[in-house]
Structure 1
């Protein structure tokens, strides 16, 4: 059986993703998902004219030769690339985690998706400030949240809320514990010419913030719930595998009648079937129903002619470990 080297695998991945590239090189996409496309030490994302190479090797040195191979080869294959940033996952070096520029001089500062600009700060933390796997969700938001009031919890840099503003939502409130993250969302507003209402960017602990909304009797047509895998504060714990139902139940009193909860769970080791079990617990009282699932793009799942690996857990009925469910809610008394 012939040996397939890394650049051959990446070449195959590029060809499969040709329809995701745009002429102006403003888009964002996962260029190569090594976990499912043949080399689990390497993942490559593209943000406009910057490639971000993630070294997942453990120890990190075991992936350095592969990283060097990618950094040397990729600009010859995609000559419009202006820079390559390398992020190292398994290290205690925060700078290496956040990213080291290995090619070029300037990192991309924005991407354009479905006609909307999203600001970037690619070295802000070990992630890259915009989660590309929720692209299809942003498209759904654009199509469905016009004239709605929206609360985006665990907003991070606010891309889902920015999509809601672009959709024509009546009001969008973005909440996160980290002001720096929300400031990226404000930059996205500026890029699109959207007004910035400071009161709609709220820096607060999730548990405290929800209680404030309850006391004010504020209600929303749509609440987006996209928590981190695990987070603990003095006021509560988020654990996607253990207490996700508690998080969802906490936002239910904020829902308008015939409201929508967008429930996102990206716990890698939580199977799709297990996630459905969690959601069915929420639905047991008859006031919440599962309306639909939103798939993740094939650049994350791999294509029929590029995929050689299997997911750690079976995500079915979802197509990826980032599991997105749209829930419909009713209020008592209606």
Structure 2
């Protein structure tokens, strides 16, 4: 059976069911961004599909070079029928040996969308910047939390990537935001986002650099923050330190604790697929044995991102008590010295 026949028999119905679940969100606003099919949780792990404005992004996890095209063509035909104003279709091949194919090949249209809107805030995007899409859809409700809770706060956004979490804090009237990432090219997208939202440059600072070095410099200068966001890559190694979300994500929390003011928050995001929710909580509880760090809340992943129900068969680890393998926790921090300023 060829791929297109397989698509017609197995995938099309799954895709249409997923589309109907999200149809209201899709047509609410032509600038919305959301996942409209999650293969890992909706029964077809080879494919996930996002919509950024009116650009359809097909993520193929097929490990055979070239096999994604027939399937993606059929997907595009269905999507074009259901979303008549679709203007571009982009295929990203995660396991291709060609970096350009990982970043995305345009199958239809000319120019992918360069801007989306979420919670009444505008964001610049570059859908071919990287293997991903430069804007993480699974952290949508965290951006909403920042919009609602960042007013008057000093915020430090580490591993900021394109700075969407810091932008949400600024849109929520944060007093001041520092965005840091190793790659200055990624941070340039935040600069464009801040500009279209008319954010006063005096309210934020961009620091390209290594997390460990930047955090040490800020500590030596006695900086304190009300909110620190830790959203690291799954694994990274530099001369200054190692990031390993599966084995030692807690190390980053301990590194950043001295920068948190009395009563402040650390927002930690762990998206390790093979780390279960219970295992992650057990790691966090090791630093909550005294009264200085406490688990305050969880932030769920939007149900649109995974379809609202799990096909556990395709999940590497059970995320419970979280609703997805992207595990977002708000920690409340207290200091022995009680220092706020």
Provide, for residues 34-79 of structure 1, a one-character-per-residue CA deviation record: whole Å limited to 9, x for no partner. 1111211111000001010011112243433211211222112211
Uncovered stretches (5+) of structure 1, i.e. residues with no partner: none
Q: Post-superposition shift, 1:195?
A: 2.1
Provide, for residues 165-197 of structure 1, a one-character-per-residue CA deviation record: whole Å limited to 9, x for no partner. 000000000000100110001111111111234
Asked whether the 8 Å contact 2:177–2:203 carries over to 1, the reply is no
Provide, for residues 247-283 of structure 1, a one-character-per-residue CA deviation record: whole Å limited to 9, x for no partner. 1000000010000000100001000001001111121
Q: Do structure 1's residue 289 and structure 2's residue 294 form an aligned pair? A: yes
The 1:198/1:208 distance shift into structure 2, 3 A limit, reads farther
Q: Post-superposition shift, 1:163?
A: 0.1
Q: Post-superposition shift, 1:286?
A: 2.3
For 2:245, the equivalent position in structure 1 comes to 240
TM-score of the superposition, structure 1-length normalised?
Answer: 0.95
Q: Do structure 1's residue 63 and structure 2's residue 50 form an aligned pair? A: no
Match for 1:158 among 153, 156, 163? 163
Q: Post-superposition shift, 1:110?
A: 0.7
1:92-241 equivalences under 5 Å are 92-197=97-202, 200-241=205-246
Cα distance in 2 between the residues matched to 1:265 and 1:308:
19
Match for 2:328 among 309, 324, 327? 324
For 2:4, the equivalent position in structure 1 comes to none
Task: Count matched residues.
Answer: 331
Cα distance in 1 between the residues matched to 2:147 and 2:28:
23
Cα distance in 2 between the residues matched to 1:196 and 1:65:
47
Match for 1:91 among 73, 92, 96? 96
Uncovered stretches (5+) of structure 2, i.e. residues with no partner: 1-7
Asked whether the 8 Å contact 2:68–2:93 carries over to 1, the reply is no
Cα distance in 1 between the residues matched to 2:308 and 2:13:
15
Match for 1:255 among 239, 249, 260? 260
Q: Do structure 1's residue 312 and structure 2's residue 338 form an aligned pair? A: no
Q: Which moved more, 1:63-72 or 1:223-232?
A: 63-72
SS in 1 for 2:317: coil
For 2:3, the equivalent position in structure 1 comes to none
The 1:198/1:289 distance shift into structure 2, 3 A limit, reads closer
Cα distance in 2 between the residues matched to 1:323 and 1:103:
35
SS in 2 for 1:180: helix
Asked whether the 8 Å contact 1:288–1:328 carries over to 2, the reply is yes
Cα distance in 2 between the residues matched to 1:309 and 1:69:
26
1:263-278 equivalences under 5 Å are 263-278=268-283
Cα distance in 2 between the residues matched to 1:272 and 1:156:
24
Q: Post-superposition shift, 1:307?
A: 5.4
Cα distance in 1 between the residues matched to 2:180 and 2:42:
36
Provide, for residues 63-112 of structure 1, a one-character-per-residue CA deviation record: whole Å limited to 9, x for no partner. 33211211222112211110001000111100000001110112101110
Cα distance in 2 between the residues matched to 1:40 and 1:121:
25
Q: Post-superposition shift, 1:309?
A: 4.9
TM-score of the superposition, structure 2-length normalised?
Answer: 0.94
Asked whether the 8 Å contact 2:35–2:306 carries over to 1, the reply is no
